[in-house]
A and B are shown apart, each in its own frame.
Chain A
Amino acid sequence: MSTSSEHVAHHFPDLETQAHAARLGMWLFLATEILLFAGLFTAYALYRMLFPSAFAGASGLIDTRMGALNTVVLITSSLTVALAYHFSRQGRGRAAAALLLATIALAGVFLVVKYVEYAHHIGAGHLPGRYYRYPALDVPGAAMFFTLYFLMTGLHGIHVVAGMGVLAWLAAGAWRGSYGGEYSTPLELGGMYWHLVDLVWIFLFPLLYLI
């Protein structure tokens, strides 16, 4: 088990101050992530306002069951990350590593479901912009819906992949016993990132799949 002093950078008086600063820095990063996604949500809101019936029709082309399944998968993966941090704080690094691996597996399930959806939409011609080929819903605005669908879920998917990398690195550290009751800051911050990925999906799911 590591002692507290080896984790404290020389410009911090103690571990608690350092953890406080790290947490605040992570929130600042997450704020930029929120604003990054906010640009796409604003585009969605604008085009939904301009093309209400086209958006309603195009949204009907997306399989709600797939989105609901992925919502449950991501929420559960948030739980496993939260529990991993909890067990890491109790010094149970192996349990934390196992929970992080479960999180990565759930993220894999999410991506597989996403792949099935993408393959269906690409095959059916539900494509962005001028590549949109779907005669049954040939109205202005439908192509824009799928532009936003692919942009929003694509950017979110990139975050999922990045998060899987972070979680794998954390799982290796937790397995080696690098984290413990007094120092689990990397696990806490990585977990916050993963929860943000979940947060974004909590808004993407109703907006794209449900209404």
Chain B
Amino acid sequence: MSAPPLDDHPVPHRGGVGRYLAVWAALIAFTAVTVAAARLQLPGGWALAVALAIAAVKSALVALFFMHLWDHGGANRLVLATSLFFVALLMGLVLADNATRFPLANPPTEATLRFMPPGPDPVAPAPPARR
């Protein structure tokens, strides 16, 4: 039987301590970068895009080197990729649904509250009196 060799045959000490320390330093540096980028108050959606891009790079470093996906590929990577695909599906479809609804079919928001009748909310229960 000519089974293919296991894709994650351990190569545990490639780089060793130095590689872990380098990844740690990069993660700390990216944390400083993301804090500095948030201080810049980038316009529009750019602040969110930059923060998420940096978080994606940081998480890729953790998954590849701390969680050893760099050395152990194959099915492990497939499991992670599948879960990320379903995360994208969940988030994408929920956001697409609510973004394309008739506005008043969403929970009352800043954009639609001005269309609400005055007085207490007829649907949601009134908040309790302040104690």
A→B interface (CB under 8 Å): 16-17, 19-20, 23-24, 27-28, 30-32, 34-35, 38-39, 41-42, 45-46, 49-54, 64, 68, 71-72, 75-76, 78-79, 81-83, 86, 89-90, 130, 133, 139-141, 188, 191-192, 195-196, 198-199, 202-203, 205-207, 210-211
Contacts and interface: CB of A to CB of B under 8 A. Distances in A.
Specify which of B13, B35, B128 lies most central, judged by the most chain A CB atoms within 10 Å of its CB. Answer: B35
Contacts, number: 149
A31 B83 contact: yes
A2 B82 CA distance: 37
A199 B62 contact: yes
Contact of A140 (B52, B62, B90, B113): B113
Interface of B: 6, 8-10, 12-13, 16-17, 20-21, 23-24, 27-28, 31, 34-35, 38, 47-48, 51-52, 54-55, 58-59, 62-63, 65-68, 72, 75-76, 79-80, 82-84, 86-87, 90-91, 94-95, 98-99, 106-110, 113, 127-128, 130
A16 B9 contact: yes
Contacts of B90: 35, 38-39, 42
Contacts of A30: 79-80, 83
Given A82-B66, A211-B48, 20 more contacts: A24-B75, A31-B80, A34-B83, A45-B91, A45-B94, A49-B95, A71-B31, A72-B28, A75-B24, A75-B28, A79-B23, A79-B24, A130-B127, A130-B128, A140-B113, A191-B66, A199-B59, A206-B51, A210-B51, A211-B51
A38 B63 contact: no
A125 to B, nearest CB: 10
A52 B110 CA distance: 8
B110 A54 contact: yes
A140 to B, nearest CB: 6
Given A38-B87, A68-B31, A72-B28, A49 B99 contact: yes
A27 B80 CA distance: 7
Contacts of A205: 31, 34, 55
A18 B6 CA distance: 11
Contacts of A75: 24, 27-28, 31
Contact of B109 (A17, A42, A50, A78): A50
Given A24-B75, A31-B82, A203-B55, A42 B91 contact: yes
B63 to A, nearest CB: 7
A75 B22 CA distance: 12
B101 to A, nearest CB: 11
Nearest to A43: B94
Q: Which 5 A-B pairs have the closest CB atoms?
A: A31-B83, A206-B51, A210-B38, A79-B24, A38-B87
